[in-house]
Amino acid sequence: MSYEDATTTLDHETREAIDIDRSKGDFTFPERHKYDAGRGLSEKTVDYICDVKNDPQWVREFRHKAYKIFNEKPMPTNWATKDLENIHFDDIRYYLSDGEKPKRSWDEVPEEVLKTFERLGIPEQERAFLAGVEAQYDSEAAYSNMKEELTKQGVIFVTSAEGLKEHEEIFRPWFGKVIPSGDNKFSALNSAVFSGGSFIYIPKGVKLKQPLQAYFRINSESFGQFERTLIIADEGAEVMYMEGCTAPKFETATLHSAVVELVALKGAKIQYVTVQNWSSNVFNLVTKRGLAMEDAEVRWIDCNIGSRLTMKYPGVIMKGRRARGEVISIALANTGQHQDTGAKMIHAADETTSNIVSKSISVGEGRATYRGQVHIPKHLKGCKNNTECDALLINSHSRTDTYPAITVRGNRHATQHEASVSQVSEEMLFYMQQRGLNEGQAMSLAVNGFINDLVREFPMEYSVELKRLIDLEMEGSVG
C-alpha cells in the first residue's frame, strides 16, 4: 500500500486481519497540511482563520465578538462534569487544512483522503442511496457533491464557507439566529473558529426523496473540529440530513465542537439523523437547535456511541402555530465514557407538540445522563409534550442519571413524562445463554431489544450500521 499507518507499528493488513471491524474508524494518515493555525487560541488564531478562509468583514467581526464571549463565559462545571476541565485549550490546534477547495468528484480528492472515506464506505453509500454528500477531513470539506437534478430544482448543498460568501442573502439572515454565539461557552468557541460544515437550502415545496449526508472525519492529533451547519427548508420543503463521525484513537484528547442550526419555514420538514462513533478520547460538545415555524416539523434522530464525553441536547423552538418538535435519542456509554445527552423543547406558539424519547445504555463503568428541558409558557394554549426516558444498566458499576425539567405554566396544556431504569439481569443472560448465545451475543440482543422501537426511526442503511456498532461494543465489553 502506498500509505503508512502512523498509530501503530503493525501494518494495515495485519491489523485488519486481527480486528477488522472494531478498527473501522481507527486509522490515520500522515498530516500534509498547508495551513496550520498552531496550538492555542488567541485573537491571532481567529485572524489566521479569517485570512486563510478569506472571510468577509462581517464574518471576521462575528468571530471576534464570539471569541470575547468564549473568554468571558465560565466552564459550565456548576452543573456539568468536571471532566470539562481536562480540555486544554492551549494545546489544541484550531485549524488544519490543505487549502484546497472541496472537490466535486472523488477522482480529484487527494489519494489518502479518498482512501479514508472509501474505508468508511462513503462513496459507496453515495452511489447507493444518497442525494448528496459532503466529506470533511479535519477543518475543511474534501468533497462536496449533489445529484444534478437537485441543482436544477434550486437546492443548495455547499460548505458553510461557500454558503456565507456565495449565498449571503439566504445565509446571513439565519446564521447565528437559532443559536446565538453566547448560547453557551462551546457555541461561542465554535462561532469564533468555525470551519467546514454544510449550508443547505431547500426551495419552496421541494421534497428530497433521498437523504443528504455529511461525514466528519478527524485525522490529526490534538485537533479541534468546529464545523458549522445551517439548514434552511423553505415553505413546504422536506429534507433528511444524516451525519456520521469518526476519529482514530489518539494518545491525547481531541475536541469536536459543532454548531448546527435548522430552520423549517411554514409547513417544512427537517429530519436530522446522527450516528456518532467517535473514538474514546474525543470531547464531543455540540449545540444543535432547530426553529419550526407554522405547521413545520423538526426531528432530531440522534445516536451517540463513542467519545469520552458527549454533551448534546438537541432542541426545537416551536415558533409557529401547530409546529412539531421531536428528539429521538440513543446513547451507549461504555467504560471510560460519559454520554450526557438530552433534549430541549421550547414551545413558543399555540397548539405546538413536542415528543422526546431517550434511551440510554450504560455498560461497565460507563455513565449516561439525561437532561431534558421542556418549556411551555402560561399565555399559550393547546400545547402538548410527551417525554419518555429509559435507561438500561449492564453490570453494577454503571451509572445513569435523569434530570428532566418540565416547566408548564397555565392549565391549557397536556404533558406526559415517563422514566424507567432496567437491567440486563443475570437471569436474563442465563436464559439467553442457555439457548446457545454467548455472553456478548446475549448482551447485544438485549441491548438491541431495548432500543428496537427507536432503531426503526433510523433509515434502514443506518439502522444496520447501528446494530453492527452495538454488537461490536457489546462483544468488546465482556471479559
Partner 1 sequence: MSLHIQNLQATLEDGTDILKGVTLEIPNGEVHAIMGPNGSGKSTLSKVIAGHEGYVVTGGSVTIDGEDIGEMSIDERSRAGIFLAFQYPSEVPGVSNANFIRAALQSRLPQGQEIDAVAYYKDLYAKMDLLEMDRKFTARAVNEGFSGGEKKRNEILQMMMLEPKYCILDETDSGLDIDALKIVSKGVNAMRSPDRGMLLITHYQRLLDYIKPDHVHVMAEGRIVRSGGPELALELEKHGYDFLKEAALA
Q: Which residues bind partner 1 (CB under 8 A)?
A: 422, 425-428, 430-439, 441-442, 445-446, 448-453
Q: Which amino acid is at 61?
A: E
> Quick one: cell of 273?
439523523
Is residue 45 classed as helix, strand or coil in its secondary structure? helix
Task: Please report the sign of the dihedral spanned by the C-alpha atoms of residue 455, residue 310, residue 218, residue 271.
Answer: positive
φ, ψ for residue 369, nearest 5 deg? -125, 135
Of 252 and 438, which CB lies nearer to partner 1 in the complex structure? 438
Of 406 and 437, which CB lies nearer to partner 1 in the complex structure? 437
- Please give the Cα distance from 193 to 213 (Å, whole number): 23
Q: What is the DSSP string of 99-122?
A: -PPPBSSGGGS-HHHHHHHHHTTH
CB of 276 to partner 1, least distance (A): 22
Of 200 and 445, which CB lies nearer to partner 1 in the complex structure? 445
Task: Say how many CA atoms lie within 13 Å of 222 toward its Cβ.
Answer: 13
Strands 140-146 and 132-137: antiparallel
Of 57 and 434, which CB lies nearer to partner 1 in the complex structure? 434
Of 203 and 440, which CB lies nearer to partner 1 in the complex structure? 440
φ, ψ for residue 292, nearest 5 deg? -115, 120
Of 168 and 439, which CB lies nearer to partner 1 in the complex structure? 439
Cβ contacts of 297 within 8 Å, gap of 6 or more: 264, 268, 269, 270, 323, 324, 325, 326
Of 145 and 360, which CB lies nearer to partner 1 in the complex structure? 360
Is residue 416 classed as helix, strand or coil in its secondary structure? strand
Is residue 437 classed as helix, strand or coil in its secondary structure? coil
Q: Look-up: residue for cell 417525554?
A: 387
